[in-house]
Chain A
């Protein structure tokens, strides 16, 4: 089923802050400019909205009806400057989808397998001129520092503009202490920021059996805490899947459509991630990349 919708342009009402030259300057990757915060708190935009023309034209990724839930699809307001820069430079945006045990998308038989392809299509459908080069990477099972090392190596190899990172599942499953996990996540996010690589986090799946499991939820909470502290976008997979579970009672139990909730979770996750990324690009556009 094609979940994309025709592009309806969201008219960003601010006019251009600076000239093209200013944008070129804003795209400078000099480290001295990199120390600025990655995002602004949701309540108060960092840059006063000034009348200007948007550089990036984006529609609004619509949510399919079954993915509409009470919890917000994502948290935080953070500019995805590297993605915006790639769009303006008219080159493909390189995206690592980390933690998706994805297979090559064509003909993939399940939502899990096709999530990166779905995300790619959703994004290309709503942002004018956007081309995505998607690199789905599964996680090997290593936790804590092992996983961080591998992520850094992948990033150094592929030089992405954006990492969409399903984080914490391996650690939650391995019952890693939330503080140790948090320290490692914090360090990795700092490293990504220092190299001007955008990141969108996706927290672990909701599993009914673990909904009252303190260790599992402590990892989920730790991710939310650090995402807000480091000001990165966080796709609320856990909360939204919990909503879905409430709205589709019985679907998580074994039945003819066993593990249906899981499939639905993946399908919706792609839509939520698309929304988060579009918001991040528009946020960067609002700020006009002035900090890069």
Chain B
């Protein structure tokens, strides 16, 4: 088990925020990033996935053979695919069980779950292909595609980090300009998170950490950007508080470059995420010194992010169902959050126990 580090810690923070955000309507959502910045916890999670990708791709000390790296990424993508199939299956079963237990057909249509019950033939195919997603269970399909795309960028980065970044930016711009998206099926529409644009965030995370190793002055540069990052965050805070959003009908083309769009990950969301990364980068050592238990708690979640994410998604759905079946009160919400946080820690512990037992 590795000791707490900044990436694990912030990933744990993102997981807690995702858990809270996935039970919409709770007062506790005021604690999450989306109330204070243009980007939210999903961006943080993906950016940090990019940061840890740099360790997978480059190793801590020596450079790993590229074949080994590619194999590692393929296996990871496969693990996440399995996790998605398992998680969405449990989610669908939970909704079905709830519908039967409470004689409530509405549960069968929650979050686009309808096709799983009413068009099972197609939905079961779509589930395996990842083209059938239900609301709040759409980050892992994104992650699978991001890891597969990352293979290309990691290979390019072996030649030049700038080349990998340029390729990623080019794909991003083409995607936003021509509004290319991955189709949903059997439901109409497109993926909730567009992997072709979100790949830039994972590459930026990768480049950030990889540059630290290559360029000795990198940390100095990042530190010098601190005041700018804070300024961007303050501007973002004001925009969120006045609830400003550009009108997509009047935005100039290519409009996704100018909107605050989450599906396409508009540039302003990336800028906000980078500003958060730069502004909060120096905070981890301070937190480690003063709030050790919190840091250890979040880091344990972050270290076991896949297992924790899956359980968090299901706990969030359970939380939604409890609030729906019962009468939501602050006390109930507190119970949901507390139970969730305890169970997430237990999940991390079991996951760590499993990996140490198999090591």
Using a CB–CB cutoff of 8 Å, the interface residues on chain A facing chain B are 101-104, 108-110, 112-113, 135-146, 149-150, 152-153, 155-157, 169-170, 173-177, 191, 195, 205, 207-210, 215, 252-254, 259, 261-262
Is the pair B24, A259 in contact by a Cβ cutoff of 8 Å?
no
Contact A153 B259 (CB under 8 A): yes
Q: Are B324 and A173 in contact (CB under 8 A)?
A: yes
The complex places the Cα of A142 from the Cα of B262 at a distance, in Å, of 12
A103 to B106, Cβ gap below 8 A? no
B24–A176 contact, CB under 8 A? yes
Residues of chain B with a CB closer than 8 A to A156's CB:
248-249, 251, 255
Chain B CB within 10 A, most for which of A101, A153, A170: A101
Taking A101-B114, A103-B115 as contacts, is the C-beta distance between A261 and B328 under 8 angstroms? no
Nearest A residue to B123 by beta-carbon distance?
A103
A152 partner, pick from B185, B243, B247, beta carbons under 8 A: B247
Partner of B112, one of A141, A150, A174, A176: A141
The verdict on B105 contacting chain A, using a C-beta distance below 8 Å, is yes
Question: Which of A140, A145, A153 is close to B261, meaning CB atoms less than 8 Å apart?
Answer: A153
| A139–B247 CB distance below 8 A | no
**A175, B322: Cα distance in complex, Å:** 11
Interface residue ranges of B89-114 to A (CB < 8 Å): 99-100, 102-106, 108-114
The answer to whether B192 has its CB under 8 Å from any CB of chain A is yes
Given contacts A108-B119, A110-B118, contact A209 B189 (CB under 8 A): no
* A140 to B248 CA separation, bound complex (whole angstroms): 19
Q: Within the complex, which residue of B106, B184, B189, B255 is in contact with A205, where a contact is CB–CB below 8 Å?
A: B106
Stretch with Cβ within 8 A of A (4 or more), from B78-86, B130-138, B142-150 = B130-138
Contact A149 B115 (CB under 8 A): no
Question: Which residues on B sit within 8 Å (CB–CB) of A174?
Answer: 24-25, 320, 323-324
CB < 8 Å neighbour of A110 from B100, B113, B119: B119
- Please measure, in the bound complex, the distance between the C-alpha atom of A149 and the C-alpha atom of B260, giving whole angstroms: 9
Query: Which residues in B have some Cβ–Cβ distance to A below 8 Å?
Result: 24-25, 99-100, 102-106, 108-115, 118-119, 121-123, 134-136, 138, 179, 184-189, 192, 243, 245, 247-249, 251, 255, 259-263, 320, 323-324, 327-328
Task: Report chain A residues within 8 Å CB of B108.
Answer: 259, 262
Give bound CA distance, A137 to B184, whole Å: 10
Check B189–A138 contact: CB distance below 8 A. yes
Q: In the bound complex, what is the Cα–Cα distance between A109 and B108 (angstroms)?
A: 15
The 8 Å CB contact of B105, one of A101, A176, A259, is A259
Give the complex CA separation of A81 and B122 in angstroms: 37
Contacts A152-B248, A173-B320 given; indicate if A253 touches B106 (C-beta within 8 A).
Answer: no
A112-B118, A150-B263 as given contacts; A155 in contact with B25, CB under 8 Å: no
Q: Can you list 29 residue pairs at the A/B interface with Cβ under 8 Å?
A: A101-B112, A102-B187, A103-B115, A103-B123, A104-B186, A112-B118, A113-B114, A136-B188, A137-B189, A138-B114, A138-B188, A138-B189, A139-B135, A140-B135, A141-B112, A141-B134, A141-B136, A152-B247, A152-B248, A156-B248, A170-B135, A175-B25, A175-B324, A176-B25, A177-B25, A207-B104, A252-B105, A254-B103, A261-B105
